[in-house]
Amino acid sequence: MSDALAPSGRYRKGMATRRAVLGDNHVDRAEAASTDFDRPFQELITEAAWGHVWSRAGWTKRERSIVTIALLAALGQDEEVAMHVRATANTGATREDICEALLHVAIYAGVPAANHAIKIVKQVFAEMDAGTVAR
């Protein structure tokens, strides 16, 4: 970690959750690409997003996955949508779950946002089906 201290418990828990959701290959690539500039950001998201929010009791990884995809689609975060759709292989969220989430995006965040996300999701599904998706 950037402050040369041992990783916190929340960081360790976050890294375990991050790996469970995104897969070791994805996390290893992100870690290898990390620099002194973005390492504090990587630590922040590992502790806050993965160690706190994604690791909380109450919702399953499947439920968090569905909500995350809907939020990212609503915000137009294309790369993150694709990444989290790929992660559904680990979270248990189904294609039907994603379809339902994007219907909600269409109504509550706008048809253009949902339409664009559907295009991305279909492309990721095609890659997953062909076995060409980087995990």
pLDDT, tens digit, for every residue of 102-125? Answer: 999 999 999 999 999 999 999 999
Higher pLDDT, 10 or 134: 10
Question: For the chain, what is the total number of helices (H) and then of strands (E)?
Answer: 7, 0
Matching residue, tokens 């109504």: 107
Report the chain's mean pLDDT, rounded to a whole number. 94
Give yes or no for a contact between 58 and 31, defined as CB atoms under 8 angstroms apart: no
Q: b/e for 23-57, b at 16 or more Cβ within 10 A?
A: beebbeeeeeeeeeeeeeebbeebbeebbeebbee
Angstrom distance (rounded) from CA 73 to CA 68: 8
Q: What is the pLDDT of residues 68-95, one digit of tens each?
A: 999 999 999 999 999 999 999 999 999 9
Q: Left, alpha or beta for 110 (phi > 0: left; psi -120 to 50: alpha)? A: left
| Reported pTM | 0.90
Interval 48-70 mean pLDDT = 97
Contact 19/61 with Cβ under 8 angstroms? no
For residue 32, the model assigns a pLDDT of 96
The reported pLDDT for the residue numbered 1 is 52
